[in-house]
Amino acid sequence: MLKTLQDLLTELKQLVTWTYLDNPAETMIEGISFSSKNIKQNFVFVCISGYRHDGHDYVNEAIHNGAVAIVAERPIEARVPVIYCKDTKAALAELANAFYDHPSTRLRLHGVTGTNGKTTTTALAHQLFDHVGMSAGLIGTLGITYAGKTFETPNTTPDPLTINRHLHAMVEAGVTDCMMEVSSQAIAEARIAGLEFETTSFLNLSHDHLDYHGTMETYAYTKAQLFTQLTESGCGIVNEDDPHHTLMLSMAPSAANSFLFSRQSTAADLVGHRKDEQFMLELGDEAVQSPLPFYEAYNLDNTLCAISIVLQTGVPLAEVLPHVKKLTLPSGRLERVTGIEQSVYIDYGHTPDAIKQVVTALTARYPRVLVLLSAAGERDRMKRNIMTEVVVASGADMILTVHDPRHEDPQQILDDLATGQSVEFARFDEREAAIRFFCERMDDYDCGVLFGKGHDRVERIGDAAVPFDEPALVRRFLQSPELP
């Protein structure tokens, strides 16, 4: 890609003023970065104030590496043009959209938000698009996938440069539809600013990220902002069974369409419910059925949302229906550990509601369930003891541990999990030791589930990312428990 600085400034709504800006129409820009280490010759460096570092402190390094212009939101000294903006995070998104020729307008972008189920829903929709012969991409927790390739990402919703770069590549590869998980932090930090969505979907809202948002009201309002980015001809898709669905739709453009799905209300546009081993679906006057893809109620919600998204692209229900029974859950979502006789699952669940949904599903199928419950370091402390209460209420037995402690004391995490409990639980400040103990006890149970890691294959301890393969550990301890 190659743009002039003038091309980019024309679309910079955050612009306030600039210094030393001569002949921007003749200044060629070959790239943009917010990391001084990634700056190359003829790049623009955008100063972002992050959690641990402030890009304004790395301007000299960026210039040394080839930056020809700096975007900042506070006064700095620099020997290249400085472009001052009100909000450099929003400016980064505007620059990324402009640099990559607004790729979200050149395919159908489908955003999915909700406390739980984003990864599963986007994966299921991606599978359905593939089954009906459409070229689709996917951006989310499990990476960015299109054209037979997958690229790792550090966040559920990546930074705007990564998003727009890959959307542009998808367009070039002939992708027509892209599924995107949209987190509340990504909305608040302007990572999706400027993107245009053909559909926006809302799954549910429950306790999470209150360390970031402060209140449930702010959390809900932040998620609802996704619907403001619908195109005028787009469609807002919502779960009618969640009371927050009206807030979401109220944010959509007045000309946009709406589509409601439900397992409980017969008034929704798409109604689905389980009947024995069949998934019954109703769309207007059309009533059809499919072999049940999943037993868990929450995964049927995710399936309904995925079907709803595909329907909005003009694919008829009759064409989608044969493929529903083929759907599979993504990695780390109620994933049964292979290579062992015992029924042991790993699950990414890390919110009270997600854990409740999984434990409820398992205790309905298995008489005796053992749970390994954990919480991550430097994340929402307010939800920790609520997660414990959910498991206690289910009647399942429980072991407490931690995952990704980062710089937080593991004992503090365990204390938070145990707060308010009159019963003493086995607790381990090292996850591998907890898994060993869990496996030693599995002979007394019909089923076990380990929460927290899911698909993730590293433990974040301090600043280090240590390789950590949870399914492999479970197999090792259950097959050869005497191994060190």
Does residue 115 have a known ligand-binding role? yes
Does residue 332 have a known ligand-binding role? no
Does residue 157 have a known ligand-binding role? yes
- Tokens 């950590």 — which residue? 468
CA angle, residues 408, 413, 415, in degrees to nearest 5: 135
Does residue 27 have a known ligand-binding role? no
Q: What's the CA gap between 333 and 387, in Å, rounded? A: 17
Does residue 155 have a known ligand-binding role? yes
Does residue 3 have a known ligand-binding role? no
Q: What's the CA gap between 32 and 38, in Å, rounded? A: 9
Report CA-CA distances (Å) from 332 to 54, 205, 261, 360, 388.
34, 21, 25, 18, 21
Does residue 119 have a known ligand-binding role? yes
Does residue 120 have a known ligand-binding role? yes
Let me know: does 374 contact 452? Beta carbons within 8 Å.
Answer: yes
β-sheet with 67-72: strand ranges across: 15-19, 82-85, 67-72, 43-46, 31-33
Does residue 113 have a known ligand-binding role? no
Number of other CB atoms surrounding residue 94 within 10 Å: 22
Does residue 420 have a known ligand-binding role? no
Q: Which residues contact 276 (CB under 8 A, 6 or more apart)?
A: none
Calculate the dihedral angle through the C-alpha atoms of 88, 89, 91, 93, rounding to the nearest 10 degrees.
Answer: 160
Q: What's the CA gap between 216 and 209, in Å, rounded? A: 9
Closest by Cα among 278, 326, 324 to 303: 324
Q: Which residues contact 246 (CB under 8 A, 6 or more apart)?
A: none
Does residue 233 have a known ligand-binding role? no
Residues annotated within the binding site for ATP are 114-120
Residues annotated within the binding site are 36, 114-120, 155-157, 183, 191
